[in-house]
Structure 1
Amino acid sequence: MTAEFQSPARGSAVVRWGRERGRSLRRSVERLGWVGRLLAVGQLSLVVAAFVGFLVQSVWTPLFVVSFLVVFGLGWGLREALTAKIMTFLMTVSALVTLGLIAVFLVLEAIPAFQTAGLDLINPFGENAWAASQGQYSLVPMIWGTVLTTIVAVAVAGPLGIAGALFISEIAPGWVRDIVKPAVEILAGIPSIVYGFIGFTIINPYVTGRLSVNPGALFAIGVVIGFMALPTVISVAEDALAAVPSPMKDGSLAVGATDWQTMQSVTVPAAFSGISAAVLLGIGRAMGETMAATVMISHSRRLPEPTGYNVFDSTETLTTFIASSYGHVTPGETFWSALFAAGVVLLVIVTGLGIASQLVEMRMERKLQGNQ
């Protein structure tokens, strides 16, 4: 409609109607904003109340949880985006707080063991003997057993895992990749007790008979744990190799490099951070493995003989020490506190590995960017 057919009164009415609708919409948005703020405060308050109630074992904890679910449902219906942000924030904070509380709990429970044994509990230059009946407490044999089994496991899972990832990602035809990759991922779901039973019934007797070593040798345990970690290393490393941009590899091939030279000089360095993360996950799996090692190991709490580096002798690992001792110790004893001290040592080692991997990743990123 042209301007000459619009009366001033009609135009003014349209403007007034538009302004009224705009003010109404703004008021609705403002009201909804306050509702969103109230829902956010309510969700945060109820989560904190439920968490505190759980810590103090309050009977009101279920009520707080149900109230949170109700408020969450209302928030999802009224302000879905805001509620999603709040939930992701709460999940992140909850994970960090839970991990922090676990670490604090382990340290507090481990303090009596350090007060009784002092630094001899982890001192490799001390007596290195565990005899709880005689008041001798040393985690050095367990720490050393963990280190030796981890080294053997990484020696198995590292090279084989990286080679398998390179084959799946860069060499295998498409139809082979479609079969092998899901099969490898399925292998990661096999329970550890199955690996331990196979190691106990097949690998342990073979190593004992052929090599004439003690039953439960650290070498056999490391091999089994290495094969357990192999699917994880292959899967994560293959994902890292597949994430390397195709133009980088195509450019290498275009200047005359062979497939192997491209993998060696372009693909592997570009995916090094992901490959290191895959090996780190394998190390974590090896260090934290309990059931397979518990089934196979001889549980002798001493350093391997004749030298501490003998992987064909048997000792104890930190995880098997905790698993085999739990349930046979009365809470409050020094032995009980020593179990938590073993958990603290294991936590420190794994955390150190994580920090080291981050430093390696940062250095590799600087190198790829041309900065030394």
Structure 2
Amino acid sequence: MRRQAIAVIRTAADLDRPSFFLVTAQILLITGTFAGFLLQSGWTVTLLYGFLLVAGIGWVTRQALTAKVVTFLMTATTLLTLGLIAAFLVLESMPVFRHAGLGLVWPFGSTEWSSSQGQFSLVPMIWGTALTTAVAILVAAPFGVAGALFISDIAPDWLREIVKPAVELLAGIPSIVYGFIGFTVINPYVGDLFSVNPGALAAIGLVIGFMALPTVVSVAEDALSAVPESMKDGSVAMGVTDWQTMKSVSVPTAFSGISAGVLLGIGRAIGETMAATVMISHSRRLPEPELYNVFDSTETLTTFIAASYGHVTPGELFWSALFAAGVFLMVIVTGLGIVSQLIERRMHRKLREGQ
């Protein structure tokens, strides 16, 4: 966004009068549209149509200038929207934080949830999210890295052209379909095999792990494909096997990118809602008899929000607790996304320096 802003400012300094009028009109109209939307004004649609009309005129007469302005405005609008969403979540969650304090997320105090008695604790949901994510990543990480290695270093070209789109196509399957399969097939199988109640966290983590597979495979495969062929050829020329080359050259070199893919997979597992909502038993308590018992069932942050918002009255503490869960999720997923992007950027910079 900073580069776009500098480019727009430099361009504005060299504008003639008609171009300056077009740029000013676009900025004012999109700002008015955004403000009208927030204030629920009846002028919102009119201002939007006005912006589209001016942008269309600019695209016909001054295409390059209009492209710069529109991309800058869309970027600024996106960032502003994200900021407003974050502010809205925090403001709506403040009542429950004032009521429960840090005890809302403190694991060493009371973890009882009873909205009728004014007891609120997100600890069981946070722990349920952690357990399902751990199971999911135990599935997605090894299978994802193995799949990426097969696609990038083992499969012939004709097979790679089939397998890679097929894996990426898995990401397009609606999560409710995964959840339905998990509910009708995985839940009964795990329940009969281990004699546990339906909705075990292990079964949910298994399904979510397969849902995160395309993300891990795609990012890890891109990282492995970015390893210079000269490094692989040099390793083979020294007499080592293809497996040793993958183990000692490809994976260590692309480790940052692989780590980024795994982190993105964790983010997908943490944020998954519908599949887990269909399968889980929605019991707001810690697993028993041990905390790490993945064959018991509890609640996750996402399923807690999805299963509760329909019958909660706005303004209640329960309502505020749902927003607090949203804040916690937003911080975790955003942090994982930022870290994965930094790791991937570091890998590409390292590879460029190596070349």
1:188 is matched by which residue type in structure 2? A
Say yes or no: does 1:286 pair with 2:256.
Answer: no
Shift of 1:77: 1.3
Indicate the structure (1 or 2) with the bigger Cα radius of gyration.
1
- 1:188 pairs, out of 146, 171, 183, with 171
Closer/same/farther in 2, CA of residues 98 and 356 from structure 1, 3 Å limit: same
Who is 2:328 aligned against?
Answer: 345
1:245 is matched by which residue type in structure 2? P
CA contact (8 A) 2:283 2:297 kept: yes
d(CA) in 2 for partners of 1:277 and 1:298?
Answer: 32
Shift of 1:43: 0.8
Say yes or no: does 1:127 pair with 2:77.
Answer: no
- 1:88 pairs, out of 61, 67, 71, with 71
Who is 1:316 aligned against?
Answer: 299
Who is 1:334 aligned against?
Answer: 317
Who is 1:20 aligned against?
Answer: none
Who is 1:24 aligned against?
Answer: none
Who is 2:247 aligned against?
Answer: 264
Closer/same/farther in 2, CA of residues 31 and 94 from structure 1, 3 Å limit: closer
- 2:278 pairs, out of 269, 273, 295, with 295
Shift of 1:330: 0.3
Unaligned runs of 5+ in 1: 1-29
Say yes or no: does 1:149 pair with 2:149.
Answer: no
Shift of 1:273: 3.0
Provide TM-score, normalisation by structure 2.
Answer: 0.91
Who is 2:98 aligned against?
Answer: 115
1:339 is matched by which residue type in structure 2? L
Q: Bigger shift: 277-286 or 160-169?
A: 277-286
2:298 is matched by which residue type in structure 1? T
1:181 is matched by which residue type in structure 2? K
Provide TM-score, normalisation by structure 1.
Answer: 0.87
d(CA) in 2 for partners of 1:99 and 1:252?
Answer: 47
In the alignment of these two chains, the number of paired residues is 342
Say yes or no: does 1:201 pair with 2:162.
Answer: no
Say yes or no: does 1:55 pair with 2:38.
Answer: yes
Shift of 1:348: 1.4
d(CA) in 1 for partners of 2:326 and 2:199?
Answer: 23
Q: Bigger shift: 229-238 or 215-224?
A: 229-238
d(CA) in 1 for partners of 2:18 and 2:236?
Answer: 59
Shift of 1:153: 0.3
Say yes or no: does 1:275 pair with 2:258.
Answer: yes
Who is 1:170 aligned against?
Answer: 153
Closer/same/farther in 2, CA of residues 270 and 88 from structure 1, 3 Å limit: farther
Deviations 1:248-285 (A, max 9, x none): 32233233333222222332233233322221221111
Identity of aligned residues (%): 72
Who is 1:103 aligned against?
Answer: 86
Give secondary structure in 2 for the equivalent of 1:326: helix
CA contact (8 A) 2:284 2:298 kept: yes
- 2:202 pairs, out of 201, 219, 225, with 219
2:139 is matched by which residue type in structure 1? V
Unaligned runs of 5+ in 2: 1-12
1:163 is matched by which residue type in structure 2? A
CA contact (8 A) 2:267 2:333 kept: yes
Give secondary structure in 2 for the equivalent of 1:213: coil
Shift of 1:41: 1.3
d(CA) in 2 for partners of 1:271 and 1:90?
Answer: 36
2:22 is matched by which residue type in structure 1? L
Closer/same/farther in 2, CA of residues 284 and 329 from structure 1, 3 Å limit: same
d(CA) in 2 for partners of 1:274 and 1:98?
Answer: 29
